[in-house]
Amino acid sequence: MRLRRETLLKFMEDALGVDTVAMDDETPLFSSGMIDSASMVDLMLFVESEANVKFSPDDITLDNLDSVGRILSFVADRHHE
């Protein structure tokens, strides 16, 4: 399954309380403090179940999750493998 940008943004809006209206694909999410790192696991679980991928704790890092663009391309890479 592909992870859709709209689905991801809606989750961030509804579950994490982030104002995504003006956000672009490069906006840092965690390193800017916009999303609390305690919510990281929530976001990861959502992406895993939505895209039907499983991340290994060895390779899932902040670099993969810190913006909408990074999340989408990380998931796309997983599917490609």
What is the binding site for other proteins (CB under 8 A)? 17, 19, 22-24, 26-28, 30-42, 44-45, 48-49, 54, 57-63, 65-67, 70
The answer to whether the CB of 51 falls within 8 A of the CB of 3 is yes
Least separation in angstroms between residue 76's CB and other proteins is: 18
Nearest to 44 by CA among 6, 53, 77: 53
Quick one: 33 or 81, whose CB is closer to other proteins?
33
Quick one: 22 or 80, whose CB is closer to other proteins?
22
Question: Residue 56 contacts by C-beta under 8 Å, 6 or more apart in sequence?
Answer: none
